[in-house]
Structure 1
Amino acid sequence: MDKTLHIVGGGMAGSEAAWQAANMGVNVVIHEMRPKVGTFAHQTGNLAEMVCSNSFRSDDDEQNAVGLLHWEMRAADGLIMATADQHRLPAGGALAVDREPFAETVTARLKAHPRISVSYEEITSLPENGHWIISTGPLTSGTLGEAIAAETGADALAFFDAIAPIVYFDSIDMDKAWLQSRYDKGETEEERTAYINCPMTKDEYEAFIDALLEADKTEFHEGETATYFDGCLPIEVMAERGRETLRHGPMKPVGLTNPHQPDVKPWAVVQLRRDNALGTLYNIVGFQTKMKYGAQTAVFKMIPGLQDASFARLGGIHRNTFINSPTLLDGQMRLKSRPNIRFAGQITGVEGYVESAAMGLLAGRMAAGELLGASIEAPPATTAMGALVTHITGGADAKTFQPMNVNFGLFPPVDGVKGGRRGRKDRYKAYTDRAKADWQGWLAQQKLDAA
């Protein structure tokens, strides 16, 4: 039996997966198509090349979920975080790096590892045999993308992805909004109150449409054609088709009664739907957008009930490649139809450098454990990595699954800690304290099993 782990893609996820697996005693081959086969974004053939920002975002491990993820990766002897710390640049509370020496150092350390080799070639099909991790990211080659689509049943994996914003539930003003499904549909109370509704008067609606049409938008590069995911149009495109289009589409006010003003029929209603099983995150229904971030915050806070909203994720539009992980992957990040293949990184539906590397860390450890005859369970959902992997392998709604950054809305609530905006600092500290203890326990259990 082949005891070698093969990793397709040498980005953040593939590099971290290789490092973790090799340090557990497994031989690893990284298959990287660059520089023989390039992409429009990459400039070099280095592993872990940063193609967009040079920031790993907040490094605050007590009040920020991505900072907590940094902490967990450092505790697991992560290559990506160690190299980022080595090439850190001044950036306030953020972790920004000097991108070229960062990638050069990651590449050098991986190539110097006695258990790791790099093969510069394009993998164009899903392997039938052996142990593999696919970590090709949002710029997966067209040929491999077609092979993945053929296996998973997806019509297309590469597209311009228009996504809707996600709001923290505890930042929504429920004195203005209310819980109700349209026409009170549903057999249970939970189903009948599945949506949060934000009412608008005619004047508020008209002002909202004006702001939407005037807002700064992301434009396509010359020669690019917009093919949207699942036929979902950005709300600006719908608004451009007529001022009443949204009021007869995602903002239609029918089948709803505002309990705060039961005798007043709203002119339009913005609905938010729960985005995770915990009920801590809500997405704005039908509000896919290509507005720039600053414009989104200003425009969406015009919605009654969202005037103080905090966003777990703003909307956006970009070329992306990812699979519907909640449907296709098991808890070990294996493709259910081909369990010899794991997926890691952005292709699993996480967003960001750090999240991608974190999923590589888990996939690398799980794959190595399997090769060594010791099953490694996913970390507790109370940890940052556990919350992410739980989200992508079953916690998210498969029908509306979209890429997600790590955020505290993915974590199970902490009992006995007050909620609301004023209690957020204490609540986030409780999340991080619990996560650190549980992460250390998970790491210690692996050491015990190895012994």
Structure 2
Amino acid sequence: MEPVHIIGAGLAGSEAAWQITRMGVPVVLHEMRPQVETFAHKTGDCAEMVCSNSFRSDDDVMNAVGQLHWEMRAAGGLIMEMAGRHRLPAGGALAVDREAFSAAVTAALQADPLITIAPGEITELPGTGNWIVATGPLTSDALAGAIRGVTGTDALAFFDAIAPIVHADTIDMSIAWEQSRYDKGETEAEQKAYINCPMNRDEYEAFIDALLAADKTEFHEGETAGYFDGCLPIEVMAERGRETLRHGPMKPVGLTNAHKPQEKAYAVVQLRRDNALGTLYNIVGFQTKMKYGAQTQVFRMIPGLQNAGFARLGGIHRNSFLNSPTLLDDRMRLRLAPNLRFAGQVTGVEGYVESAAMGLLAGRMAAAQALGRDLAPPPFTTAMGALVNHITGGAEAKTFQPMNVNFGLFPPLPDSRSGRRGRKDRYPAYTQRAKDDFNAWLAAQ
């Protein structure tokens, strides 16, 4: 049997390879790292997580991304399996030890006898065969040029930012304290999954002033890409209003200062564990485009981080994605070259889970094709189906931007199930319908 070729061993490519071989079809997985490096990646491992270590909410009743987790687990997804094995306390979120996680994904793929990992950069798109392009937002210049050559149009682009990581033993715990917002979590470890650094009003105002005045990385002349709203640099949020951060990543609600329980913080900076040892913490929501020198000065203004040591500073990079509503069909194939499927963030989904989910679908569809079958996407009532519908025709092409999964992408519920009820009733109805329909989709294969 001819193998399916996958370009890119990120989250989407790794999940696609796993799904294909579960169906008995061989895979050649092409990965340019570490021979060809990117700005953001640090290793040559598969499924390396770059911007954060969180897959976001794991609540599959009240949250759309939690429902997506559920669907990937139901489909035997590798990414969710390894995330579960290397999970870290994070309240209601699914956070992982990112190095252990990617090493485990790599080991699983290397051990699969049907997977051949082929190192080296692919610079041209083949005209025949069964291929999946899962190169992610940091597609190499050569391959991006080849994609433009096939599509006849430029890929759209936006700028994405990375949050800094702090050494835990440099956090002043006489000021900071451990607590998840609203003490969320079933265990004490979950309820203390975050480190919190409080600010009074004067400290917050001084921090905002320094943030706005700091030296920043700016766009090069002629670059017109904007930011994705779900991953804005903190400086951009602050420029939208001095209170924006206090109602965003620095909101003080649901937290009680263990050192001064009677004193309400004006703002709180949260840090989330980044590895199983608990030696590294990332600053939650603090993606930044500040230059390195400015970052250390500004972030050390945060109470509790005055002596912080940084394992990694933040940064900004250019992400590319296709105008998928105009270019892809509902089997995720390029209309102008149907031997090519696209998967992952390059399709215009945003987020680790969404990228991996599109890899899961593309892999199953490519394997079905190799076996002489056709596989339709899941119903739009499911989280996966809602996403693939959005990127392959549901979104308005003229205003297409990267999108996280959310209940706004799901078809409305019948009045008999939703009526005029609030989200506490409506969201469980969405997720139960999605589970029923996804199980039916799996059973029909």
- TM-score strictly above 0.5: yes
Corresponding position of 1:225: 220
Structure 2 vs 1, CA of residues 415 and 157 (structure 1 numbering), >3 Å: closer, same or farther?
A: closer
Residues in 2 aligned to 1:88 and 1:358: alpha-carbon distance in whole angstroms = 19
Deviation at 1:419, TM superposition (A): 6.5
Corresponding position of 1:147: 146
Corresponding position of 2:237: 292
Residues in 2 aligned to 1:403 and 1:139: alpha-carbon distance in whole angstroms = 14
Corresponding position of 1:354: 353
| TM-score, normalised with respect to structure 1 | 0.67
* 1:381 and 2:380 aligned: yes
Corresponding position of 1:438: 437
* SS of structure 2 residue aligned to 1:358: helix
* Kept in 2: contact 1:160–1:227 (CA 8 A): no
* Kept in 2: contact 1:218–1:291 (CA 8 A): no
Residues in 2 aligned to 1:128 and 1:33: alpha-carbon distance in whole angstroms = 20
Deviation at 1:329, TM superposition (A): 0.3
* Kept in 2: contact 1:160–1:226 (CA 8 A): no
For 1:266-310, what per-residue CA distance to the aligned partner results, in whole angstroms no more than 9, with x for missing partners? xxxxxxxxxxxxxxxxx9xxx9997238967955999xxxxxxxx
Structure 2 vs 1, CA of residues 296 and 122 (structure 1 numbering), >3 Å: closer, same or farther?
A: farther
What letter corresponds to residue 225 of structure 1 in structure 2? Answer: H
* Kept in 2: contact 1:63–1:428 (CA 8 A): yes
* 1:21 and 2:20 aligned: yes
Unaligned stretches of 5+ residues in structure 1:
163-212, 235-282, 303-314, 447-451
Structure 2 vs 1, CA of residues 348 and 229 (structure 1 numbering), >3 Å: closer, same or farther?
A: farther
Q: How does 1:170-319 map to 2 (within 5 A)?
A: 222=217, 225=220, 227-229=222-224, 291-292=236-237, 298=243, 319=318
Residues in 1 aligned to 2:109 and 2:398: alpha-carbon distance in whole angstroms = 38
Structure 2 vs 1, CA of residues 217 and 383 (structure 1 numbering), >3 Å: closer, same or farther?
A: farther
What letter corresponds to residue 91 of structure 1 in structure 2? Answer: A
* Kept in 1: contact 2:40–2:317 (CA 8 A): no
- CA RMSD in angstroms comes to 3.1
* 1:138 and 2:83 aligned: no
For 1:218-271, what per-residue CA distance to the aligned partner results, in whole angstroms no more than 9, with x for missing partners? 9886585265446x7x8xxxxxxxxxxxxxxxxxxxxxxxxxxxxxxxxxxxxx
Residues in 1 aligned to 2:327 and 2:320: alpha-carbon distance in whole angstroms = 15
* Kept in 1: contact 2:156–2:323 (CA 8 A): no
What letter corresponds to residue 330 of structure 2 in structure 1? Answer: G
Q: Percent identity?
A: 63
Corresponding position of 1:71: 70
Q: Which moved more, 1:291-300 or 1:117-126?
A: 291-300
Corresponding position of 2:55: 56
* Kept in 2: contact 1:326–1:398 (CA 8 A): yes
* SS of structure 2 residue aligned to 1:137: coil
* SS of structure 2 residue aligned to 1:10: coil
What letter corresponds to residue 372 of structure 1 in structure 2? Answer: L
Deviation at 1:15, TM superposition (A): 0.2
Residues in 2 aligned to 1:142 and 1:133: alpha-carbon distance in whole angstroms = 18
* Kept in 2: contact 1:216–1:291 (CA 8 A): no
* Kept in 1: contact 2:41–2:50 (CA 8 A): yes
Corresponding position of 1:248: none
For 1:45-64, what per-residue CA distance to the aligned partner results, in whole angstroms no more than 9, with x for missing partners? 00001111000000000000
Residues in 2 aligned to 1:298 and 1:371: alpha-carbon distance in whole angstroms = 54
Structure 2 vs 1, CA of residues 400 and 289 (structure 1 numbering), >3 Å: closer, same or farther?
A: farther
Residues in 2 aligned to 1:325 and 1:214: alpha-carbon distance in whole angstroms = 40
Corresponding position of 1:251: none
Corresponding position of 1:394: 393
Corresponding position of 2:108: 109
* SS of structure 1 residue aligned to 2:94: strand
Give every structure 1 segment of 4 or more consecutive aligned residues whose post-TM-superposition deviation is greater than 6 Å.
Answer: 217-220, 287-290
Deviation at 1:319, TM superposition (A): 1.8
* Kept in 2: contact 1:29–1:116 (CA 8 A): yes
For 1:31-71, what per-residue CA distance to the aligned partner results, in whole angstroms no more than 9, with x for missing partners? 00000000111111000011110000000000000000000
Residues in 2 aligned to 1:347 and 1:365: alpha-carbon distance in whole angstroms = 18
For 1:205-228, what per-residue CA distance to the aligned partner results, in whole angstroms no more than 9, with x for missing partners? xxxxxxxx9896698865852654
* SS of structure 2 residue aligned to 1:412: coil
Residues in 1 aligned to 2:93 and 2:428: alpha-carbon distance in whole angstroms = 18
Deviation at 1:394, TM superposition (A): 0.2
Corresponding position of 1:41: 40
Corresponding position of 1:424: 423
Residues in 2 aligned to 1:158 and 1:218: alpha-carbon distance in whole angstroms = 27
Unaligned stretches of 5+ residues in structure 2:
162-207, 248-286, 289-315
